[in-house]
């Protein structure tokens, strides 16, 4: 009987995909992994969190993205066949790691991780190594295979070439999400010639490098990353939704810790509030469950929790102004005081949001070995760091643009009856015009 | 306001000056592993634990004028020096942080080379493994650094010393 790890489906299965046209599956192992409850759960977690409140098309899931990353790695491996440095024995490991790399993401990952001090990478490892259907399939491939997959995803696997396919500054993960997010948000940025990049990728001993003739395709990819960050990922309206989401979670946790009696007992959140989340509980919480609570918490007695939930569900978001925490330090302290006087709790309704609150990996040339840069393979065989050869990349990997905004509920201020107080607040907020 | 930025400023206020981005990355990670409440998220990269969030936050602090970054041209690379500015000191004065006293730990870390701190931070990254497995991991994930047995022993001792320093 054929070994499980080599077993192929009787006929190739395909998933229709709007980005890659078709996602091809021939390995039984991959087919089985896709069918597990842990992988199917990714259908219920949106790839872009709250971005759908800004770009209504952005409802795609981590399931779509995971299949996309798998497909890109499958194509890269196909191109690497018979090339020096490529070890064909690592094929299935690469495919599994690509498919499962985001398995530990939870609902609205970013805010949940910040508020409840969670780490989706930890849960990815837990799902792969724990008592799960995924683990049973991987261990059926060979004993210890699940650990190998976890190591590749954690970037601690000895074969760095394998790691760099899944995670480097030009990897299958980024190539999929840029194109997919561009497609579903409907923006015109985020597009680049992936086919060309795949054709000029070359395996080396410890990383994938780019044949120098493909430099312009890589420039396009780096520009896409830069533009998608400012136009989509860090969109100020999305950030407003994210601010409200975080404040809901903070408020619910605070109420729980204060002994508040919820109308709807937050059973699914209890371990999150206690910051002691077990895998089983983690897997149960998806975005459907979170929306259910937010919907019903609109009727809670606590005015802050119910107001914030109503804002999130009905997209009644905070407005914002540009804010410089250095030059406007005193204004912020005045506003904090004035909000308190107005009965608007500044801890929930006056929020500074910074670009570092949503880390996004700009291309970094790795000047002090912070991160491995993209290397071009020159005709002489020498490797050269990308920004040393490309003026475009050098320009956008130099001094970084950073950004801070101050979010607040304009509708609450508009309704203030104390006109003197209202004018004082507005004088500070609107001196440069609201957005 | 900007609690996580303020915590970093507190660190720079104690350190006076930090030389090297890699060193800064490793110092904050090691302090995190000593239960200092920095919240920057780290991932394992080619050169050990690295936080994009920290890089961005330091860039923000520089752009705001709270931290000064000086670039020094070396033979084949650039080196960066960081220190808190007067504006940074004013901000810290206004917005106090709930941080333990870091002086002794930061001084001790600042005296070490970035190569040594890379070793220490990598060992701490794998600290949930048995001691022998941690040492094997060092050679697996960092074969080119070629750390000696003495350096690894020294790193274990360093971790113990660092964790023995009281917070207050």
Q: What is the ipTM of this complex?
A: 0.89
Q: Which residues pair with B81 in a beta bridge?
A: B19, B70
Determine the Cα–Cα distance for residues A246 and A108; give it in Å rounded to an integer: 10
How does the average pLDDT of chain A come out, rounded?
Answer: 93
pLDDT tens, A102-148? 999 999 998 999 999 999 999 999 999 999 999 999 999 999 999 99
What average pLDDT does this structure show over B49-59? 92
Query: Considering CB atoms only, which of A114, A329, A361 is closest to B94?
Result: A329
For residue B168, what pLDDT band results from cuts at 50, 70 and 90?
low
Give the pLDDT band (50/70/90) at residue A435.
very low
- List CB contacts of B136: < 8 A, sequence separation 6 or more: none
pLDDT band at A373; cut points 50, 70, 90: confident
Chain B's closest residue to A346, CA to CA, is B1
Residues 6+ away with beta carbon under 8 Å from A85: A161, A203, A204, A205
- 3-state DSSP assignment of residue B52: helix
The answer to whether B78 contacts chain A (CB < 8 Å) is yes
Q: Is A368 in CB contact (< 8 Å) with chain B?
A: yes
Q: Does B55 touch chain A (CB under 8 A)?
A: yes
Enclosing H/E stretch for B84:
strand B78-84
- Give the pLDDT confidence of B28-48 residue by residue, as tens digits: 999 999 999 999 999 988 778
| Calpha distance B69→B60 (Å, rounded) | 11
Q: Is residue B18 scored above 60 in pLDDT?
A: yes
**Does the beta carbon of B3 lie under 8 angstroms from any beta carbon of chain A?**
no
Q: Residue A119: list chain B partners with CB under 8 A.
A: 41
**pLDDT, tens only, A303-359:** 999 999 999 999 999 999 999 988 888 899 999 999 999 999 999 999 999 988 876
Please indicate if any CB of chain B lies within 8 Å of the CB of A122.
no
Partners of residue B56 in chain A, C-beta under 8 Å: 355-356, 359, 400, 402
CATH topology of domain A236-357+402-432: Growth Hormone; Chain: A; (1.20.1250)
Q: What span, in angstroms and rounded, lies between the C-alpha atoms of B71 and B58?
A: 14
Task: Determine the distance from the C-alpha atom of residue A171 to the mean position of all C-alpha atoms in its chain, rounded to a whole number.
Answer: 15
Structure tokens at A254: 């605070």
pLDDT of the residue at A244 = 98
What is the predicted pLDDT for the residue at A364? Answer: 80
Residues of chain A with C-beta less than 8 angstroms from the C-beta of B114:
368
Find the closest chain B residue to A121 by CA distance. B43
Q: Which residues contact B165 (CB under 8 A, 6 or more apart)?
A: B104, B105, B108
Residue A42 to residues A47, A63, A108, A127, A130, Cα–Cα distance (Å)? 9, 5, 12, 13, 18
Q: What are phi and psi of A426, to 5 degrees?
A: -65, -35
**Distance separating alpha carbons of residues A201 and A78, to the nearest angstrom:** 12
Q: Which of A370, A394, A396, A400 is the best residue to mutate to test the B interface, defined by the most B CB atoms within 10 Å of its own CB? A: A370
pLDDT at A434: 44
Question: A129 CB near a chain B CB, below 8 Å?
Answer: no
**A316 inside 8 A of chain B by CB:** no
Any CB–CB contact under 8 A between A388 and chain B? no
B45 has a chain A CB within 8 A of its CB: yes
- Residue A205, pLDDT > 80, answer yes
Contacts of A121 in chain B (CB under 8 A): 43
Query: Would you call B25 and A371 a contact, using CB atoms and an 8 Å cutoff?
Result: no
Rounded to the nearest integer, the mean pLDDT of chain B is 91
3-state secondary structure at position B168: coil
Decide if A100 contacts A348 (C-beta within 8 A): no
- Tokens 């000696």 — which residue? B148
Alpha-carbon distances of A253 from A239, A257, A274, rounded to whole Å: 21, 6, 9
Reference A49, options A107, A101, A104; nearest CA is: A107
CA angle A164, A168, A172 (to 5 degrees): 80
Rounded distance between C-alpha atoms, residue B25 and residue B15, angstroms? 14
H-helix or E-strand containing B139? Answer: helix B131-141
Judged by a CB distance cut-off of 8 A, whether residue B66 touches chain A is yes
* Domain range list for chain A: 4-200+212-233, 236-357+402-432
- Interstrand relation of A375-377 and A208-211 (parallel, antiparallel or unpaired): parallel
Per-residue pLDDT at B64 exceeds 90: yes
Answer whether A158 touches B (CB < 8 Å). Answer: yes
**B7, B33, B45: best to mutate for the A interface, most A CBs within 10 A:** B45
Average pLDDT on A394-403 reads 79
Report the alpha-carbon distance of residue A236 to residue A340 in Å, rounded. 25
Residues A249-267: what's their mean pLDDT? 96
CATH of span A4-200+212-233: 1.10.3210.10
pLDDT, mean of residues A260-281: 94
Contacts of residue B85, Cβ cutoff 8 Å, sequence gap at least 6:
B65, B66, B67, B68
**Chain B residues in contact with A371 (beta carbon < 8 A):** 45-47, 50
| CA separation for the pair B87, A329 (Å, rounded) | 10
d(C-alpha A191, C-alpha A52), whole Å: 20
Residues of B in contact with A332 (CB under 8 A): 1
């Amino acid at each position: 009987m054929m070994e499980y790890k080599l077993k192929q489906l009787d006929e190739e299965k395909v998933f229709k995909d709007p980005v890659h046209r078709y996602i091809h599956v021939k390995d039984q192992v991959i087919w089985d992994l896709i069918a597990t409850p842990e992988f199917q759960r990714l259908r219920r977690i949106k790839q872009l969190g709250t971005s759908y409140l800004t770009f209504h098309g952005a409802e795609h899931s981590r399931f779509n993205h995971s299949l996309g990353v798998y497909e890109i790695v499958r194509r890269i491996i196909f191109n690497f066949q018979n090339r020096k440095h490529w070890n064909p024995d690592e094929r299935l490991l690469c495919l599994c790691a690509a498919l499962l790399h985001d398995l530990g993401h939870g609902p609205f990952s970013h805010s949940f991780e910040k508020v409840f001090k969670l780490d989706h990478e930890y849960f990815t490892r837990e799902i792969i190594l724990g008592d799960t259907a995924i683990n049973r399939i991987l261990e059926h491939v060979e004993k210890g295979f699940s650990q190998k997959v976890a190591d590749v995803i954690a970037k601690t696997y000895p074969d760095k070439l394998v790691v760099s396919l899944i995670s480097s500054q030009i990897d299958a993960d980024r190539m999929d999400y840029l194109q997919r997010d561009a497609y579903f948000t409907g923006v015109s940025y985020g597009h680049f010639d992936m086919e060309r990049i795949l054709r000029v990728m070359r395996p080396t001993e410890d990383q994938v490098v780019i044949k120098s003739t493909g430099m312009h395709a890589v420039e396009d990819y780096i520009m896409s990353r830069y533009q998608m960050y400012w136009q989509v990922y860090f969109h100020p309206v999305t950030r407003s939704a994210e601010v409200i989401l975080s404040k809901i979670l903070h408020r619910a946790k605070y109420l729980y810790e204060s002994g508040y009696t919820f109308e709807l007992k937050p059973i699914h959140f209890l371990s999150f509030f206690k910051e002691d989340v077990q895998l089983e509980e983690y897997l149960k919480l998806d975005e459907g469950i979170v929306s259910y609570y937010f919907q019903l918490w609109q009727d809670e007695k606590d005015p802050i929790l119910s107001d914030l939930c109503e804002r999130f569900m009905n997209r009644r978001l905070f407005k914002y102004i540009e804010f410089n925490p250095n030059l406007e330090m005193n204004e912020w302290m005045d506003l904090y005081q004035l909000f308190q006087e107005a009965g608007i709790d500044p801890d929930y309704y006056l929020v500074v949001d910074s670009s570092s609150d949503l880390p996004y990996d700009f291309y970094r040339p790795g000047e002090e070995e912070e991160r491995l840069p993209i290397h071009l393979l020159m005709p002489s065989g020498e490797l050269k760091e990308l920004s040393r050869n490309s003026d475009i990349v050098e320009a956008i990997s130099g001094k970084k643009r950073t950004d801070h905004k101050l979010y607040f509920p304009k509708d609450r201020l508009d309704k203030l009856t104390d006109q003197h107080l209202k004018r004082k607040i507005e004088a500070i907020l609107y001196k440069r015009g609201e957005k | 306001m900007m609690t996580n930025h303020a915590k970093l400023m507190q660190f720079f206020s104690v350190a006076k000056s930090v030389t090297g981005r890699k060193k800064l990355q490793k110092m904050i990670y090691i302090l995190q592993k000593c239960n200092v409440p920095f919240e920057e998220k780290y991932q394992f990269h080619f050169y050990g634990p690295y936080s994009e969030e920290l890089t961005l936050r330091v860039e923000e602090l520089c752009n705001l004028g709270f931290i000064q970054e000086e670039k020094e041209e070396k033979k084949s690379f650039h080196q960066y020096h960081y220190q808190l500015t007067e504006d940074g000191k004013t901000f810290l004065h206004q917005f106090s942080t709930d941080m333990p006293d870091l002086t002794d730990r930061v001084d001790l870390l600042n005296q070490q080379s970035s190569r040594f701190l890379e070793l220490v931070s990598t060992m701490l990254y794998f600290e949930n493994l048995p001691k022998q497995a941690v040492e094997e991991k060092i050679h697996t994930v960092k074969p080119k650094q070629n750390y000696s047995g003495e350096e690894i022993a020294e790193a274990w001792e360093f971790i113990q010393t660092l964790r023995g320093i009281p917070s207050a």
